[in-house]
Amino acid sequence: MVQLTLEQIQKKSLNRLVGLNPVFKIVVEKLIERCYARGVRIVITQGLRTYAEQDALYAQGRNGDKRPKVTKARGGYSNHNFGFAADFALLLRDGRTVSWDTLRDDDKDSLPDWSEVVEEAKRLGLEWGGNWRSFKDMPHLQMTFGLSTADFRAGKRPTQSQLNTILAKINSLKMEDEHMTAEEKAAFKALQKRVIALESANKLTKVPAWAEQACINAKAAGVLDMANDGSYDFYRMITLLDRAGVFKIREALHNDRLET
């Protein structure tokens, strides 16, 4: 695997970030950074599009064109046309090739790299095209602030208050990243991997009484989304980590923010 710095990864997307709404651009840049911290490298493949570029994409797969359809939006009907959408791809181990393989796991953590990107995108407040019902657009991310393309065509834009809310979210995540040491981040990632492995092992029908408080603390720390259906080893590990004070990291971060 070719080792690339964050700066080298960021440079690969610079041209595609030109013309994006400034706040949306900050969010996309933060996404690249947070994915890199998780061992997943992404590049932005599409950003702002002109109406003509959008119409050319819309024509693909239509009117005798045998290529697959890639969009259902004509020019003026895509959020790409207004600087509030971007498409991404995974950057492979050679540092040059990109992939849209949603099951790929180059960082070998038992989670598809694509899913990790989507998870970070949602944390940043981005909408993912893979959740759409009528036309799933797996590489697509956008942030529309409740505005439709008709609103954008009419000249409407997000209010400053809406933009400030997103900037505050970014700053909050930045504070969290800065408070946690590299060792703490590595420990949480290792724990998440272990949790995934153990959740698929022998499952108990209910949480043992001796593990209930540890599971409550783990959920409060954001390590677990649910405590049911774990294995004996899973509950034993959670209890040991709780007794070691691992789950107090998030609580300490929360208190630090309240005091500053």
Tens of pLDDT, residue by residue over 118-142, are 999 999 999 999 999 888 899 999 9
Q: Residue 251 pLDDT more than 60? A: no
CB 43 within 8 A of CB 88: yes
CB 199 within 8 A of CB 230: yes
Average pLDDT for residues 42-59, to the nearest whole number?
Answer: 95
Closest Cα to residue 20, out of 78, 80, 69?
A: 80
Average pLDDT for residues 112-121, to the nearest whole number?
Answer: 95
Rg of the chain over all Cα atoms, to the nearest angstrom? 21
Average pLDDT for residues 226-253, to the nearest whole number?
Answer: 72
Token pair belonging to 100:
């849209």
- CATH numbers and ranges of domains, the chain: 6-177 (3.30.1380.10), 180-259 (no CATH)
Q: What is the model's pLDDT at position 189?
A: 67
Q: Report the alpha-carbon distance of residue 224 to residue 253 in Å, rounded.
A: 17
Between 162 and 185, where is the model more confident? Answer: 162
Q: Report the alpha-carbon distance of residue 149 to residue 84 in Å, rounded.
A: 10
Q: Residue 197 pLDDT more than 90? A: no
Between 191 and 126, where is the model more confident? Answer: 126
Q: What is the model's pLDDT at position 121?
A: 96
Residues pairing with 141 in the sheet? 86, 128
Q: Residue 254 pLDDT more than 60? A: no
